[in-house]
Amino acid sequence: MIIDCHGHYTTAPRQHEAWRAAQVSAHAEGRSPPPRPTMTDDELRETIVNGQLKVQRERGTDLTIFSPRAAGMGHHLGDASTSEGWATACNELIHRICTLFPRNFVGVAMLPQSAGVSPKNCLAELERCVTEYGFVGCNVNPDPSGGHWQDPPLSDRYWYPLYEKMVELNVPGMIHVSAACNPAFHTTGSHYLNGDTVAFNQFMTSTVFKDFPTLKFVIPHGGGAVPYHWGRFRGLAQAAKLPLLGELLLKNIFFDTCVYHLPGQELLAKVIPVDNILFASEMIGAVPGIDPETGHYFDDTKRYVDQLPLSDADKAKIYEGNARRVYPRLSGQITRQFAQAAR
């Protein structure tokens, strides 16, 4: 099985996105949000059959760990109640997709984060998604202010209630910022990669994994700048008299393969141990076009991984084994969903 650990519902129905716009407008005007729109199963099927499912089949992948659209999380919009209502609506859609396509998608939760609001606000929704929907992880936005970095760093005890709940539920988090409202940052060109790199550095200079030895995070987009500047981080850790990075972080931090050219994948596989790399494409995501140098889609990352000079056993870890290990609930959820599909 080839498991893509990083997929977002970027093809959600128009009425879902229209409701979000109306919800945000209502908050700005001091009104209650309108009722959520009705979306039939057939409408949801159409968005997937002609979108993610079609691409899965074309590219030879089997299952996507699926979450709401990252840029659409919009934690900087409205207030905590706005984020709660939006997260609930988005997670419900993900659950419906996983129920309609149980062999193809397993859910990951969007958290109702809001700038300046304690992550304690997210615990109930995370627990609901895991216990009621069977979700296997969550997305954690290190900057819910949308590019202004107003909240404490991930190393701060401010985040510990969320970490405690993640450990209790045995679910990892994927570090993922949302859209940037700071004009200094392009959302996908700089803000995403900034968030990945910043998170790694904050964890490196913290005691988070000493305090939570079983806590796990996936840093997407190949880790941002981290693999390319591995020597810099090793040197910074050494100067701070920290343990070697492998001992300090690599039992808890993992990287995905959302790197959109072969030299980048080759670098990732040379620098980061195979046991810490999970296959991902973020397909129908940030970089959907065709690379004129190859004639293939930039985000068809399986083509790059297939070309790496790795053994079949190592590729099997990247394609499946590491995801099952990093997401401890995944294998059980796959079994349950496949049994549902067989009924």
Question: 173-175 and 138-140 as β-strands: parallel, antiparallel, unpaired?
Answer: parallel
> What's the distance, CA 4 to chain centroid?
11
Looking at 247, 282, 293, 320, which residue is catalytic? 282
Q: Which long-range contacts (CB under 8 A, 24 or more apart) does 304-309 make?
A: 304/257, 304/259, 304/261, 304/262, 304/264, 304/265, 305/257, 305/265, 305/279, 307/262, 307/265, 308/265, 308/266, 308/269
Whether 258 contacts 300, CB under 8 Å: no
| Sequence-ordered strand ranges (E) for 118-276 | 138-140, 173-175, 217-219, 253-256
Cα(106)–Cα(55) distance, rounded to whole angstroms? 16
Task: Say whether 320 is catalytic.
Answer: no
The structure tokens 């964890």 sit at 203
Cα(284)–Cα(93) distance, rounded to whole angstroms? 17
Whether 173 contacts 137, CB under 8 Å: yes
User: Would you call 31 exposed, middle or buried from its count of C-beta atoms within 10 A (0-12, 13-18, 19+)?
Assistant: exposed
Report the catalytic residues.
282
